[in-house]
Amino acid sequence: MTFENILLEKKNAIAYVTVNRPKVLNALNMATMEELRTAFTDIKNDSAIRVAILTGSGEKAFIAGADIGELAKHDAVSGKEYTHRGQSVLDLIENLGKPVIACINGFALGGGCEIAMACTMRLASENAKLGQPEVKLGIIPGYGGTQRLPRLVGKGIAMQLVLSGEMITAQEAYRIGLVNEVTAAAELIPRAEAIAQKIIANSPLAVQYAMEAVNKGLELTLSDGLYLEAVLFSVACSSEDKKEGTAAFLEKRPPQFKGK
Q: Please tell me which residue in 59, 70, 126, 134 is annotated as part of the active site.
A: 134
Asked if 10 and 16 touch (Cβ cutoff 8 Å), the reply is yes
Examine the residue annotation and report whether 114 is marked as an active-site residue of this protein: yes
Report the C-alpha gap between 157 and 148 in whole angstroms: 12
Which residues sit opposite 194 in a β-bridge?
Answer: none
219 is an active site residue: no
Could you give the residue ranges of the DSSP H alpha helices within the chain? 30-45, 68-71, 76-94, 111-118, 145-153, 155-164, 170-175, 188-200, 204-217, 222-237, 240-250
User: Which residues are within 8 A (CB) of 231 and not within 5 positions of it... i.e. 6 or more apart?
Assistant: none
Catalytic residue among 70, 81, 114, 244: 114
Which residues, in sequence order, are CB contacts of 41 under 8 Å at separation 6+? Answer: 92
Active site residues: 114, 134
